[in-house]
């Protein structure tokens, strides 16, 4: 009996761990909590004299405003993971905490103390929950304690992976020629590896890799390559967490006899909060790193299809901007791209600041490598790609529309659509899932 009880308890914990923090019951509870916070705010306004209310409002505005200014000065443009509306919720939480403290100081009492403390706690929980729902930083309850739902795929050391095999299965489309080995693993694996900037000199952090079952088989298939870039601030591992990379590609592989692209997520930032742009500039030779160092390392250390026609690049936010920049500047290396919520040009702030930081104010040098300018001057019928943005992403969605129209005018084979949500992993993870079939056909993995 105790075994059954433990099993049921484990199932309950698993279900709770998988509960979404971005939609569903918890978001409904946050909406109810928002109403209660509104009612509590009215009570605070009644319990506090006008001067105390002004103090609470002033402190909350100054506190959230100072936080916004710090983030703006430290991360320009404003980090995609922290939209401006987040500071409204932060200000609300601060007002609740400060107001509750003032009530306790001016009108002490057990009942009132418990009430205002509960209100302050509720205001904080609602604010944190709403900010998280906007940003998608923690997609589930389990992710709050490190149990990411997207990490069901095994993580292994790169040195433990099998090396080159002589009996490589070739032929396009791959699925038509693929003969599934008897002992092929049922799932892919995730690993990390350092990709040095031998040519570019770019100092990158370790890359994240996903290898599908067909790569781990003996003999393995000669597979295409998908290079993905994460957002800023961030790290390659963000594609595993909020981007749901491993489970999405693993699910695709399970539907196609173990076949899926080999996915490499290199670091295109150099540091968590760096913003070098995907160009060769004074901020770093990121373009050369992605065009030469990364492909050279992949071809030397992984047994993949070397034909660039079977390679694609993609990314979200900063990474989406990188994807279109690399495709336009290096169409022979990356003829296919995925641009999820990218910008209409690389940016470290406003346009003038960007050109000054990257090219010492030389507009012609910036224009010579800026994708939007190049698309206005040239035609790229050999390129194909997809632009995706969140319906509620009022900052990046219009820029995606600009880039889509520019790409279409440059004779690219492109598509554009929006998904429910803002500038968050919920949009990018869903977009990758939706585009796996397109990638499979484009990279000659499937007919």
If you write DSSP's letter for every residue of 296-323 in order, what string do you get? HHHHHHS-B---GGGEEEEEETHHHHHH
H-assigned helices in 238-350: 245-255, 286-288, 294-301, 318-329
Which stretch of 134-138, 315-319, 359-363 has the lowest confidence by average pLDDT? 134-138
pTM: 0.77
Q: Which residues contact 385 (CB under 8 A, 6 or more apart)?
A: 323, 324, 327, 336, 337, 338, 339, 407, 412, 413, 414, 415
Cβ–Cβ under 8 Å, residues 22 and 426: yes
Q: Can you name the residues that pair with 336 across neighbouring β-strands?
A: 312, 384
Residue 447 lies in a domain: no
Tell whether 206 and 189 lie within a shared domain. yes
Residue 300 lies in a domain: yes
- How far apart CA 98 and CA 107 sit, in angstroms, is 14
Q: Which residues contact 388 (CB under 8 A, 6 or more apart)?
A: 338, 339, 340, 341, 400, 416, 417, 418, 419, 427, 428, 431, 435
Residue 100 lies in a domain: yes
Contacts of range 327-332, beta carbons closer than 8 Å, 24 or more positions apart: 327/371, 327/383, 327/385, 328/371, 328/374, 328/375, 328/380, 328/383, 329/287, 329/291, 329/369, 329/371, 329/374, 330/287, 330/291, 331/380, 331/382, 331/383, 332/308
Among 172, 223, 248, which residue's Cα sits nearest to residue 447? Answer: 172
Tell whether 203 and 339 lie within a shared domain. yes
Cβ–Cβ under 8 Å, residues 199 and 288: yes
Tokens of 332: 């022979």
How many other β-carbons are positioned within 10 Å of the β-carbon of residue 49?
A: 10
- How far apart CA 422 and CA 367 sit, in angstroms, is 30
Tell whether 131 and 204 lie within a shared domain. no
Residue carrying structure tokens 């698309």: 375
- How far apart CA 441 and CA 447 sit, in angstroms, is 6
81 pLDDT band (50/70/90 cuts)? very low
Q: Quick one: pLDDT at residue 158?
A: 95
Select, from the ranges 12-21, 37-46, 117-126, 327-336, the one with the highest average predicted confidence (pLDDT). Answer: 327-336
Tell whether 245 and 116 lie within a shared domain. no
Q: DSSP assignment, residue 234?
A: -
pLDDT digits (tens, 9 = 90+) for 268-277: 999 998 999 9
Tell me the average pLDDT across 330-350.
Answer: 95
Among candidate residues 119, 143, 167, the one where a domain is terminated: 143
Tell whether 195 and 281 lie within a shared domain. yes
Element (H, E) at 341: none
Q: Which residues contact 189 (CB under 8 A, 6 or more apart)?
A: 153, 154, 155, 156, 161, 210, 211, 216
Which stretch of 37-46, 120-129, 239-248 has the lowest confidence by average pLDDT? 37-46
Among 373, 264, 359, 252, which residue's Cα sits nearest to residue 319? Answer: 264
Among candidate residues 121, 143, 165, the one where a domain is terminated: 143
Tell whether 271 and 373 lie within a shared domain. yes
Residue 219 lies in a domain: yes
Cβ–Cβ under 8 Å, residues 444 and 310: yes
pLDDT digits (tens, 9 = 90+) for 136-180: 566 666 656 555 554 468 899 999 998 888 889 999 999 999 999
Residue 262 has pLDDT above 70, yes or no: yes
pLDDT digits (tens, 9 = 90+) for 97-120: 666 666 666 666 665 556 666 666
Tell whether 306 and 416 lie within a shared domain. yes
Tell whether 362 and 431 lie within a shared domain. yes
- How far apart CA 323 and CA 274 sit, in angstroms, is 18
Tell me the average pLDDT across 295-318.
Answer: 97
Tell whether 163 and 267 lie within a shared domain. yes
* Chain Cα centroid distance, residue 85: 19
Residue 169 lies in a domain: yes
Q: Are strands 262-265 and 284-285 parallel, antiparallel or unpaired?
A: unpaired
Among candidate residues 102, 123, 143, the one where a domain is terminated: 143
Residue 61 lies in a domain: yes
- How far apart CA 109 and CA 390 sit, in angstroms, is 48
Tell whether 169 and 134 lie within a shared domain. no
CATH number at residue 396: 3.40.50.1820
Tell whether 173 and 295 lie within a shared domain. yes
Q: Quick one: pLDDT at residue 197?
A: 98
Number of H helices, E strands in the chain: 16, 11
In which domain, by residue range, is 115 found?
Answer: 2-143
**Overall number of domains in the chain:** 2
pLDDT digits (tens, 9 = 90+) for 209-225: 999 999 999 999 999 99
Residue 229 lies in a domain: yes
Tell whether 431 and 282 lie within a shared domain. yes
């Amino acid at each position: 009996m105790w075994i059954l009880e433990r099993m049921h308890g484990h199932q309950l914990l698993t279900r709770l761990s998988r509960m979404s923090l971005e939609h569903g019951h918890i978001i409904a509870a946050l909406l109810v909590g928002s109403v209660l916070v509104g009612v509590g705010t009215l009570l605070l306004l009644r319990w506090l004299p006008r001067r105390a209310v002004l103090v609470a409002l002033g402190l909350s505005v100054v506190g959230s405003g100072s936080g916004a200014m710090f983030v703006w000065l430290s991360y320009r443009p404003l980090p995609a993971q922290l939209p401006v509306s987040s500071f409204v919720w932060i200000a609300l939480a601060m007002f609740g905490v400060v107001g509750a403290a003032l009530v306790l100081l001016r009108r002490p009492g057990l009942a009132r103390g418990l009430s205002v403390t509960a209100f302050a706690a509720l205001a904080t929980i609602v604010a944190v929950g709403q900010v998280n729902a906007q940003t998608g930083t923690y997609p589930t309850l389990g992710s709050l304690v490190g149990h990411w739902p997207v990490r069901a795929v095994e993580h292994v050391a790169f040195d433990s992976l099998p090396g080159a095999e002589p009996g490589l299965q070739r032929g396009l489309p791959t699925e038509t020629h693929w003969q599934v080995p008897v002992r092929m693993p049922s799932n892919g694996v995730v690993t990390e590896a350092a990709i040095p900037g031998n040519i570019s000199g770019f100092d990158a952090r370790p890359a994240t890799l996903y290898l599908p079952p067909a790569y781990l088989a003996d003999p393995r298939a000669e597979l295409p390559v998908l290079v993905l870039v994460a957002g800023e601030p961030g790290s390659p591992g963000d594609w595993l967490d909020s981007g749901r990379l491993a489970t999405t590609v693993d699910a695709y592989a399970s539907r196609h006899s173990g076949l899926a692209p080999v996915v490499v997520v290199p670091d295109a930032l150099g540091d968590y909060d760096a913003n070098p742009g995907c160009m060769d500039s004074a901020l770093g030779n990121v373009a050369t790193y992605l065009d030469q160092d990364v492909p050279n390392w992949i071809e030397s250390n992984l047994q993949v299809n070397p034909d660039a026609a079977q390679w694609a690049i993609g990314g979200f936010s900063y990474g989406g901007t990188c994807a279109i920049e690399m495709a336009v500047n290096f169409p022979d290396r990356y003829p296919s791209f995925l641009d999820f919520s990218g910008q209409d040009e690389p940016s470290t702030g406003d346009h003038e600041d960007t050109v000054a930081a990257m090219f010492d104010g030389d507009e012609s040098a910036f224009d010579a490598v800026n994708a939007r300018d190049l698309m206005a001057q040239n035609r790229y019928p050999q390129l194909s790609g997809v632009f995706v943005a969140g319906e509620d992403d009022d900052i990046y969605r219009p820029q995606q529309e600009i880039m889509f129209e520019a790409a279409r005018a440059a004779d690219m084979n492109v598509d554009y659509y929006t998904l429910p949500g803002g500038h968050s992993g919920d949009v990018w993870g869903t977009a990758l899932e939706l585009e796996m079939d397109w990638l499979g056909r484009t990279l000659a993995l499937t007919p």
